[in-house]
Every structure is written in structure tokens, then in C-alpha cells.
Amino acid sequence: MKITDVKAVYPKYSHVQPSWRTHFWQIVVRIESDTGVVGYGYGGGGVASVEVVNRHMGELLVGRSVDSDADIAAAWDALYAASIPYGRRGIGVMALSGIDLALWDLLGKAEGVPVHELIGQRTKGAVPAYATGADADWYAELGFTAHKFPHRFDADADYQTAVDRASRARSIFGPDARIMIDTYMSWNTGVTLEMAERLAEFNIYWFEDVLTPDDLEGQGALRSRVKPVLVAGGEHEFTQYGFREVALTGALDLWQPDITWCGGITSGLRILDIARGVGAPVSPHRGGEVWGLHLIVASDCMDLAEVLPGQRDVARDELWIGEPRAKDGHIEPSDEPGFGVALNEAMI
């Protein structure tokens, strides 16, 4: 089939956390083909990325034939090459991610199969899910058996807030649960080493994003010093080229590419190839959303998916209809064609 139209839109969000996300949160990419089949993708980069798709990448895509995963990979390579002067990392690749995912959705719908079947043999059933967020009690009530909480270090008093939260999470989820901490780049090397000691009794599975993604060597140097805690990260890294640097520097114990930011499923598969070569486990950022979940169940990603349930009684945007929900602490994609979700047109 031939691509006839490509359009990106920034949805009307009502509940996006005020921050860079206000204007640069997720976009929707819609790709139409001459068969009448339409594919939808989910990318990052907000209003800027919408411009990248609508003013540049889209016109390069119209007229291309897409009938296989190899055709999608070729389109990815062409768009990546054409956007090198302004792309390579960040918004250019977040836009490309939305296009890539729309092409996988389109191909799945054209062939009447779920994306995970296009990717390959399904290797996992329902995937153990961990709940990320600040409402541990509610996540336990929802049936989650693993949990990641956010922690921000601003002052020395925050050693104690980390201990308090870890202690609470451990008591809620029990001695065997996986408990993780996302520091969102607010720790540093000294803080991380001190935290490893103070939190030792809570048996934390990983510390996430302890330094910035520009300090790959610094993160690599921490790995042996905080064992058995894993140094995790990668949501702010892009494409196979970015993760090649992660591999070369040995920066991370566990890789977390965001499939809607890092270049889509096509990049995800290439990142997995690199990870396999160095024996790094891969657990996609927000992997409980369909864009990562289809990759997880049909690849050698870890058997673990991140879910962000939000907070009890707090409203949230529902952009995609038919998204799988975690049940008994597990989540799995449907076998509907493509990614198996429909766009909530009321938000467009």
C-alpha cells in the first residue's frame, strides 16, 4: 500500500502535569494509505514535534510503499537521515517515533494482525506490571505487587524522606516485592552512594536516572559501587545510536528506552540487538502502554511492564480507548489488529 496522507495533532489535554509537558507532551500521528486503512501512532515532543511531522517528515513519507517491517525500517532510515541537521536526539526523534508507531499500526491493521505478531513470536503471556507513582496504598489495592516511587533530592533532609518512603513501600508490598526509586536526575554521585547505604535494608531493585543522560561515565562508575542495586535509565536516550554510546560506556545495568520517544518499535528492536550484545536487560519506560507492551511480549525485553495508574480519585486524560488495564498485577496487549486501541476523537 502507498502512504497518501500524514498528519500530526497535539491533543487537548486537561490533566497534564504543569512542566515541559504542558506544551511538549505526547502527539498523535495519523497515517492514511491508498487502501483506506489508517494507522495511529503516539510520539513525544508536543507542539514542536507536530510541526516536524506536518512540515517536513510527512511530505517525505507520502507516496512511499509500506508492505513489510523492512519497508518501515527503510522509511525510518530515510526520515532519520533527512532530519539529521535538526534531529538525532530529542524532538526530531520523538516526532519520528510517532510516525514509526503509526506505520506499525497501519501494517498490522492492513494484515489484520496485532503488532506483536508483526514483531515476531510471542514469548510472554500476561506481563508482571509495576505501578509507578506516589499512591502506594492504592496500587496495592489495585493488585500490583511491584512499585516504583518518585524521589527528589533537594537537601540533606531528603535522605530521610527516601528512607521513609522506601520503608513504607516495603511494608505495603512485602519482603519479596520489587521496589524501585526514580530520582529523575535529582541525585548525584555522592547522594547515590549515601542512599545505597541508607536504603540497603530495604533491598531496592533499581535506582533510576540518578544522573543526567549526559554523564554516561558517571553512571557507569556507580554500577559496581551501589550493587546489588541496579543503575537504571534511558528514557532520555534516543535511537540505536544513543544506546550504542550507553553500551560502549557501560553506563547502565538496565535500559529503559521510551518507545514513543526513542524512535518507535523500529528503534526498540535495534536497541534490543545492542543490549543483547552486552547482556543488558531492557525494560521500556511506560512499557505497560500498548506502544511498549507489544514489543515486550514479542521480544527478549524483561518480563516486566511499567504502569502509571495516577492517583486515587484524581481525573486523567483518556486519549486512547481500549487500552489494556493491569489485572492481578499483570498486563497484556489484545490481539486486535494493530496496537488494538482507538483514538478518543473528543480530545482532538
Q: Which of residues 165-194 bind Mg ion (CB under 5 A)?
A: 182
> Cβ distance 12 to 347 under 8 Å?
yes
Q: How far is the CB of 182 from Mg ion (least distance, A)?
A: 4
Q: How far is the CB of 265 from Mg ion (least distance, A)?
A: 20
d(CA 284, CA 302): 9
105 binds Mg ion (CB under 5 A): no
| CA distances (Å), origin 120, targets 69, 87, 153, 300, 328 | 11, 29, 42, 11, 26
- Label the pairing between strands 320-321 and 342-343: antiparallel
Nearer to Mg ion, 40 or 206 (CB): 206
User: Is 15 designated active site?
Assistant: no
Instruction: Give, to the nearest 10 degrees, the angle between helix 264-278 and helix 239-249.
Output: 20
d(CA 226, CA 218): 13
Q: How far is the CB of 111 from Mg ion (least distance, A)?
A: 34
Q: How far is the CB of 252 from Mg ion (least distance, A)?
A: 12
Query: How many residues in the shown chain lie near Mg ion by CB under 5 A?
Result: 1
Alpha helices in the chain, H assignment, sequence order: 21-24, 46-52, 58-61, 69-82, 91-111, 115-119, 136-141, 157-173, 189-198, 216-226, 239-249, 264-278, 290-297
Which residue has its beta carbon closest to Mg ion?
A: 182
> Cβ distance 119 to 74 under 8 Å?
no
Alpha helices in 89-132, H assignment, sequence order: 91-111, 115-119
d(CA 278, CA 134): 33
Q: How far is the CB of 208 from Mg ion (least distance, A)?
A: 5
The C-alpha R_g of the chain, in whole angstroms, comes to: 20
Nearer to Mg ion, 31 or 307 (CB): 307
Q: Which of residues 261-280 bind Mg ion (CB under 5 A)?
A: none
Q: How far is the CB of 16 from Mg ion (least distance, A)?
A: 16
Nearer to Mg ion, 232 or 297 (CB): 232
Q: Which of 236, 285, 294, 330 is catalytic?
A: 285
Nearer to Mg ion, 108 or 284 (CB): 284
d(CA 150, CA 165): 9
- CA angle (48 as vertex; 43, 50 as ends), nearest 5: 55
237 binds Mg ion (CB under 5 A): no
Nearer to Mg ion, 118 or 199 (CB): 199
Nearer to Mg ion, 135 or 182 (CB): 182
Which residues are CB-neighbours of 258 under 8 A, at least 6 positions away? 44, 234, 235, 284, 285, 286, 292
Q: How far is the CB of 184 from Mg ion (least distance, A)?
A: 6
Nearer to Mg ion, 50 or 185 (CB): 185
258 binds Mg ion (CB under 5 A): no
Which residues are designated catalytic?
Answer: 285
Question: Rule CB under 5 A: which residues touch Mg ion?
Answer: 182
